[in-house]
């Protein structure tokens, strides 16, 4: 009998250790996969956010954006290097505690390679984002897992001593079921599976602890899913104005062109540039400049239809997609409404009497282009003609008069010219 008791004790101990180890491995694999996906989304968000700053080699803006996102997402390190390997921005989280150091080592073992995402501009790789995640979550999980294993081992030791005289199958069956659930969680990612109740109190408690741990993993995955949705929104929208960004606008314009080429009709692209924005920014500061951009975005959005797309392309440039478009006069009328809406000064700075002003270029499909790039280029040229002749007006692209100025197909005018 003593031999059987010792055998049961050894077998049960081994089984519980195996269950704990398998559960730990399964959870770490799941967390590793989720953390890797999260880092990929963070990297893409950084790439989209810093794209304009990288194009203009604005290292201050790159560093600020990189540091802001890296701190929000609890990254261990992040850096942006251009296509020649030159470092454009870098963030390293201060490591001033033992958990941070241990977590970084664990992350280095689970994710030995940094997460790398290219930064693309006009289908050209101009830089890449390299990230390493924070290991605090892994440390907390491992400590929790060790504590859970110790608790389970304690329950198991008591259970084995009290149940050693029972029939072997009554003891082995719950373990087999629990092992099956662990196997499903590890290899099939079936974290929704649960260990069934057992007639033996100790094994029932072990199953409850295991189920609780699976529930925590599910909760963590749900949280990651919600964060991923938030990051997806950040990747497609401008953080200052809340408008869609350049990438989202191009995607919507391309999709609208595909639809309209099938169904027929026309659409319009309006390219908007703030007049004298640089001089306002330099005179009153970036906070006032940001306020001006937010106010302009709100006024523009109020003048278009609900299904039209208003986007901030970067800097002080905006674009509007009017689809469908019934006639050219409708695009001109909307542009005139937008210009008229800028007549009032900013409410937040009545003492300075800052009045927004927009120069608008208009391109019509299929008259001025067949592709998104052609329409944006045509609208940009039309806008540039307004800037060079009389600001604060609108102009419809004319292929015979609006010649290319040699600055590239898309250029933020006010960011480079004198006020």
* 238 included as an active-site residue: no
To the nearest 10°, the Cα dihedral for 162, 167, 171, 176? 170
What is the CA 94 to chain-centroid distance, rounded? 23
Q: Which of 238, 316, 380, 402 is catalytic?
A: 316
Number of C-alpha atoms within 13 angstroms, CB side, residue 300? 31
Within a 10 A sphere around the Cβ of 263, how many other Cβ atoms? Answer: 8
The phi, psi pair for 171, rounded to 5°, reads -90, -40
The residues carrying an active-site annotation are 316
């Amino acid at each position: 009998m003593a031999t059987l008791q010792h055998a049961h004790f050894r077998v049960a101990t081994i089984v519980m250790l195996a269950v704990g180890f398998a559960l730990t491995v399964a959870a770490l694999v799941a967390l590793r996969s989720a953390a890797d996906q999260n880092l990929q989304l963070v990297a893409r968000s950084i790439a989209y956010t810093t794209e304009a700053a990288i194009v203009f080699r604005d290292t201050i803006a790159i560093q600020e954006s990189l540091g802001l996102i890296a701190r929000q997402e609890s990254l261990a390190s992040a850096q942006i290097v251009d296509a020649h390997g030159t470092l454009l921005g870098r963030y390293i989280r201060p490591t001033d505690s033992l958990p941070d150091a241990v977590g970084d080592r664990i992350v280095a073992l689970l994710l030995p390679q940094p997460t790398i995402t290219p930064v693309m501009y006009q289908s050209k790789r101009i830089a890449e984002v390299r990230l390493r995640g924070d290991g605090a979550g892994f440390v907390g999980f491992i400590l929790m897992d060790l504590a859970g294993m110790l608790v389970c081992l304690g329950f198991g030791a008591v259970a084995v001593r009290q149940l050693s005289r029972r029939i072997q199958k009554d003891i082995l069956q719950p373990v087999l079921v629990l092992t099956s659930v662990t196997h499903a969680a590890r290899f099939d990612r079936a974290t929704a599976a649960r260990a069934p109740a057992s007639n033996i109190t100790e094994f029932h408690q072990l199953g409850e602890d295991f189920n609780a741990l699976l529930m925590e993993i599910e909760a963590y995955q749900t949280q990651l899913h919600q964060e991923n949705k938030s990051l997806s929104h950040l990747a497609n929208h401008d953080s200052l104005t809340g408008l869609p960004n350049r990438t989202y606008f191009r995607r919507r314009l391309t999709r609208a062109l595909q639809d309209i080429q099938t169904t027929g009709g026309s659409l319009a692209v309006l390219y908007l540039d703030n007049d004298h924005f640089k001089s306002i920014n330099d005179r009153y500061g970036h906070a006032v400049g940001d306020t001006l951009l937010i106010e302009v975005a709100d006024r523009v959005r109020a003048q278009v239809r609900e299904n039209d797309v208003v986007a901030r392309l970067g800097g002080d440039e905006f674009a509007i997609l009017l689809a469908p478009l019934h006639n050219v006069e409708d695009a001109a009328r909307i542009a005139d409404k937008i210009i008229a809406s800028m007549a009032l000064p900013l409410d937040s700075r009545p003492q300075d009497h800052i009045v927004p002003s927009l120069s608008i270029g208009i391109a019509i499909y299929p008259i001025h282009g067949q592709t998104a790039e052609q329409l944006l280029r045509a609208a940009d040229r039309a806008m540039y003609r307004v800037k060079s002749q009389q600001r604060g007006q609108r102009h419809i692209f004319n292929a015979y008069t609006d010649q290319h100025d040699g600055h590239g197909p898309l250029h933020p005018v006010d960011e480079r010219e004198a006020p």
